[in-house]
């Protein structure tokens, strides 16, 4: 299903999504981030990209697995807290973030399906917005097999055509969200089709960070496992971990018990980070990834070697956040280039 939505009717579409939680990018505190849209409220899709990625809608930074209560010597009472969210529609998802979600789906499925992730994920509808222009000088979606108008992982793809949006349903879930406001949309004519193709073709010509030979990277990383390159490239790293927190595909987490009172508490999952030393430190003090170089190697290898070996695709969609937001300028594209040359 492909339709045309005039820009002033976007509000009407959002208004028809009653019963759903709607989120869209909002500019606050000098950054774009997703924020809830009030019923009948405006949404502004003039954003570049959100600082935080869309993964948090299925995999929040902190979530409670279950509550426990146990008097000393008594029986524990466990109450699972698997969420039962309302259907949630997220607008303005950039195609790089859209492509992140099927990668996260693989991690939270496999042999053991994660009930917390899937409770949220199944209720999630992602309405993407094609990038007519790169949102940052660090964009490299096309260098990792994506495109500025990739449909992968999205339920709907919108393309800005100036005074109107071209809106395409990718999945049945996406079509359902569009049908809620059937009247708001117009049929897409031949001229609209030609225009959207032209805009997409032009977006692919915009400058992006190149990665030489993507297919050669896994072997290059393997050959460089013991290379001094990693320590060299990680020299300035302060181990803050922002690269992984903002990444649309980083999924590592911690599990801890937190007390909420005498004899009771919660078992909690929080995002964790391969750049932190205690991520892998054994209780004995032994640490298999004992320095910043080993930890940078892990981040890059996970995305461009191990994930490829396990899932036949990179665990990176080229959003460029880890480059743009790194306080000391560590640049994953430059690291790949350096490793490729070593």
Partner 1 sequence: MMDNIYLPQVGRIAGIEEETQGARAIKTFKVEFPNGDGFEHACGQCAMLSIFGRGESMISIASSPLVKDYKQFSIMKMGRVTTAFHDAQVGDLIGIRGPYGNHFPMADWKGKDLVFIGGGVGLAPIWPVIQTAVAQSSHYGKITVFYGARTSRDIMYKADFERLRGLADVQLSVDAPEQGWQGYTGFVPANLMDKAPSPDNAIAITCGPPIMIKFVIQNLQKLGFADEQIYTTIENKMKCGIGKCGRCNVGKDYVCVKGPVYSWAELKTLPQEY
Contact predicate 318/198, CB 8 Å: no
Residue 116 is a binding residue for partner 1 (CB under 8 A): yes
Among 194, 238, 255, 334, binds partner 1 (CB under 8 A): 255
What is residue 125's three-state secondary structure? strand
Dist CA 87 CA 82 (whole Å): 15
Binding residues for partner 1 restricted to 185-224, rule: CB under 8 A: none
Residue 292 is a binding residue for partner 1 (CB under 8 A): no
Write the CB contacts of 18 (distance below 8 Å, at least 6 apart in sequence): 39
Dist CA 183 CA 308 (whole Å): 44
Q: Which stretch binds partner 1 (CB under 8 A): 17-25, 40-48, 234-242, 275-283?
A: 275-283
Among 251, 295, 303, 321, binds partner 1 (CB under 8 A): 251
Residue 31 is a binding residue for partner 1 (CB under 8 A): no
Residue 65 is a binding residue for partner 1 (CB under 8 A): yes
Among 3, 140, 272, 326, binds partner 1 (CB under 8 A): 272
Give the pair of three-digit tokens for residue 335: 């690291």
Among 29, 283, 312, 329, binds partner 1 (CB under 8 A): 283
Residue 122 is a binding residue for partner 1 (CB under 8 A): no
What's the sign of the alpha-carbon dihedral 138, 143, 144, 148? positive
72 exposed, middle or buried (CB, 10 Å; 0-12, 13-18, 19+)? exposed
Residue 140 beta carbon to partner 1: minimum distance, rounded to whole angstroms? 23
Give the pair of three-digit tokens for residue 291: 């320095």
Chain position carrying tokens 């030489």: 212
Write the CB contacts of 242 (distance below 8 Å, at least 6 apart in sequence): 322, 325, 326, 327
The CB density around residue 8, as the number of other CB atoms within 10 Å, is: 10
Residue 265 is a binding residue for partner 1 (CB under 8 A): yes
- State CA 237 to chain mean position distance: 23
Dist CA 149 CA 142 (whole Å): 10
Nearer of residues 140 and 304 to partner 1, judged by Cβ: 304
Contact predicate 22/42, CB 8 Å: no
Among 108, 231, 277, 313, binds partner 1 (CB under 8 A): 108
Among 1, 45, 253, 338, binds partner 1 (CB under 8 A): 253
Residue 44 is a binding residue for partner 1 (CB under 8 A): no
Residue 252 is a binding residue for partner 1 (CB under 8 A): yes
Dist CA 99 CA 147 (whole Å): 10
Nearer of residues 3 and 297 to partner 1, judged by Cβ: 297
Among 207, 213, 284, 312, binds partner 1 (CB under 8 A): 284
Residue 163 is a binding residue for partner 1 (CB under 8 A): no
Q: Which stretch binds partner 1 (CB under 8 A): 138-146, 170-178, 232-240, 261-269?
A: 261-269
Dist CA 96 CA 319 (whole Å): 6
Residue 316 beta carbon to partner 1: minimum distance, rounded to whole angstroms? 15
Dist CA 22 CA 41 (whole Å): 10
Among 36, 40, 83, 115, binds partner 1 (CB under 8 A): 115
Residues that bind partner 1 (CB under 8 A): 65-66, 68, 70, 73-76, 78, 80, 82, 107-108, 110-116, 118, 225, 251-257, 259, 263, 265, 267, 269, 272, 274, 279-284, 286, 288-289, 294, 298, 301-302, 305-306, 309-310
């Amino acid at each position: 299903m492909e339709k045309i939505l005039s820009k002033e009717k976007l509000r009407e579409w959002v208004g028809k999504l009653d019963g759903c939680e709607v989120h869209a990018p909002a500019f606050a505190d000098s950054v774009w981030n997703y924020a809830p849209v009030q019923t009948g409220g405006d949404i502004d899709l003039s954003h570049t990209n959100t600082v935080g990625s869309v993964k948090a809608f299925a995999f929040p930074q902190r979530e409670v697995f279950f509550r426990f209560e146990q008097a000393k010597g008594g029986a524990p009472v466990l109450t699972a807290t698997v969420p039962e969210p309302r259907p949630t529609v997220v607008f303005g998802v950039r195609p790089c973030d859209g492509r992140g979600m099927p990668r996260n789906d693989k991690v939270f499925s496999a042999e053991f399906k994660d009930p917390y992730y899937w409770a949220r994920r199944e209720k999630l509808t992602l309405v993407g917005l094609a990038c007519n222009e790169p949102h940052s000088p660090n964009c490299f979606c096309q260098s990792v097999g994506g495109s500025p108008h990739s449909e992968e992982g999205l339920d709907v793809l919108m393309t800005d055509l100036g005074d109107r949006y071209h809106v395409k349903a990718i999945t049945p879930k996406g079509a359902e969200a569009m049908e809620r406001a059937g009247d708001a949309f117009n049929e897409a004519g031949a001229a609209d089709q030609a225009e959207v193709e032209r805009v997409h073709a032009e977006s692919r010509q915009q400058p992006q960070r190149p990665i030489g030979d993507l297919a050669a990277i896994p072997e290059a990383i393997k050959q460089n496992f013991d290379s001094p390159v990693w320590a060299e490239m990680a020299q300035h790293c302060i181990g803050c971990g922002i690269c992984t927190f903002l990444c649309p595909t980083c999924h590592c987490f911690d599990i801890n018990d937190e007390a909420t009172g005498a004899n009771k508490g919660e078992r909690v999952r929080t995002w964790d980070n391969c750049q932190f030393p205690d991520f892998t430190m054994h209780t004995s003090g032994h640490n298999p990834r004992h320095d910043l170089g080993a930890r940078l190697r892990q981040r890059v290898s996970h995305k461009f070697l191990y994930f490829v070996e396990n899932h036949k695709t990179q665990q990176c969609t080229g959003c460029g956040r880890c480059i743009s937001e790194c306080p000391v300028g560590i640049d994953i594209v430059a690291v790949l280039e350096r490793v490729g040359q070593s």
